[in-house]
Amino acid sequence: GAVVSQHPSWVICKSGTSVKIECRSLDFQATTMFWYRQFPKQSLMLMATSNEGSKATYEQGVEKDKFLINHASLTLSTLTVTSAHPEDSSFYICSAVVPRGPAEQYFGPGTRLTVT
């Protein structure tokens, strides 16, 4: 299957600082990527849809000024958590859509963010 990577795999930051998470499709070009957040023992909650070359579409209740998404190329989308607070601590996962064939969605390995 297609490979999606995320960097970093885990990060600890202080409250009030910003953190950038990268999502890359390694062996295919993805015009669409999704960003999810997952709290312990819960399901994946969609935060936003990232389309290459256009503004991201955010789900209701997700602050677009706090969670900045940039999809500058067909293989890279970034999520920046600005002015992070402890309640932003979570597992952030991206996925990318393979544009050809059945358009399956493949997930990255996730990034564990801890805000102290």
Per CB under 8 A, residues contacting other proteins are 1, 4, 6, 32, 34, 42-44, 46, 49, 93, 97, 99, 102-110, 112
Which tokens in the block code for residue 50?
């990232």
User: Shortest Cβ distance from residue 46 to other proteins (Å)?
Assistant: 6
Q: Which of 60, 59, 58 is nearest to 69 (CA)?
A: 58
Beta-bridge partners for 3: none
Beta-bridge partners for 20: 80
In terms of CB distance, is 84 or 110 closer to other proteins? 110
Alpha-helical (H) ranges within the chain are none
In terms of CB distance, is 34 or 88 closer to other proteins? 34
In terms of CB distance, is 19 or 111 closer to other proteins? 111
User: Shortest Cβ distance from residue 60 to other proteins (Å)?
Assistant: 10
Phi, psi of 23 (to 5 degrees): -130, 125
In terms of CB distance, is 69 or 110 closer to other proteins? 110
How far apart (Å, rounded) are the C-alpha atoms in residues 105 and 69?
19
User: Shortest Cβ distance from residue 86 to other proteins (Å)?
Assistant: 20
